[in-house]
Amino acid sequence: MYLFRLIYYSLSTIQAQEGSLQQELKTILLASQRNNPPLGVSGALAFNYNYFAQVLEGDRKAVTNTFCKIAKDPRHSDIVILDASPISERMFESWNMAFVGGSVSENQLRRYCTSSQFHPEKMTAVSLLRFMRDVIESSQNSLKSVKVS
Ligand code: FAD
C-alpha cells in the first residue's frame, strides 16, 4: 500500500440556510461512513456556510478515486488542491470522516486562519492540517460533527 494524503478546499454551493446545510452534511457523513471504511480511507472535513476543506488519507489509488468522486459533487465548486503527497503515517487514523465545525473557538480560528472566520484560501496545507487536528483533539463533542463560524 502507498500511504497518501490529499488536502483540498472548495466553495460550498449549499443554500445558506441552517436546515439545508445540516441536511446535506448528514448525507455527506452517511456516504463517508458507508464508503470510506471499506476503502481504508480516513480523514477530516471542515465546513462553514462558504467553504469545505477536506483531508483524505489512505492508499493513494483509493484516495484518488474517492477524491475524483467528491470533485464531481455539485454541492461544492472551485476545488483547489493544497497538497497531495506520500505520508509515513495517518493523522486521522480513527476517523472515517471527522467533521470539524461548531466547537471551534475564536482563538483556534485566529491561531490557524489568521482571522475570526474560516477562510481556507488564506491557509497553507500545514496550517489547515494543524487546525483540524487541534479542533478534533480539543473537542469533547462525541457527535464528531460541528460547524465553523
Ligand atoms: P449514492 O448515490 O449515495 O448511493 C449509491 C447506492 O448506495 C444507492 O443506489 C443505494 O443503493 C445505496 N445507498 C445510498 N444510501 C444508502 C444508505 N443510507 N444505506 C444503505 N445504502 C445506501 N463521499 C464519500 O464517500 N466519502 C467522502 O469522504 C466524501 N466527502 C465529501 C466531501 C464533500 C465536501 C462533499 C460535497 C461530498 C463528499 N462525499 C463523500 C459525497 C460524495 O461526493 C458522493 O455524493 C457520495 O460518495 C456518493 O455516495 P455513493 O457512491 O454511495 O452513491
DSSP bridge pairs for 53:
9, 46
Closest CA to ligand 1's atom 48: 31
Domains of the chain, CATH where assigned:
3-146 (3.30.70.100)
- The finding on whether 147 has its CB within 6 A of some atom of ligand 1 is no
SS (H, E, C) 82-139: EEEEECCCCCCCCCCCEEECCCCCHHHHHHHHCCCCCCHHHCCHHHHHHHHHHHHHHC
Element (H, E) at 143: none
Grid look-up 462525541 returns 142
pLDDT recorded at residue 2: 95
- The finding on whether 28 has its CB within 6 A of some atom of ligand 1 is yes
Q: What is the mean pLDDT of residues 142-146?
A: 40
CA–centroid distance, residue 82 to ligand 1 (Å):
23
Those residues with Cβ within 8 angstroms of residue 57's Cβ, 6 or more apart along the chain or in another chain: 3, 4, 5, 6, 41, 42, 43, 63, 87, 90, 91, 92, 93
Contact assessment for residue 112 and residue 131, using Cβ atoms and an 8 Å cutoff: yes
pLDDT digits (tens, 9 = 90+) for 89-142: 999 988 777 788 766 788 888 888 878 888 899 999 999 999 998 888 887 543
- The finding on whether 39 has its CB within 6 A of some atom of ligand 1 is no
Q: Tell me the pLDDT band of 145, cut-offs 50, 70 and 90.
A: very low
CA–centroid distance, residue 28 to ligand 1 (Å):
6
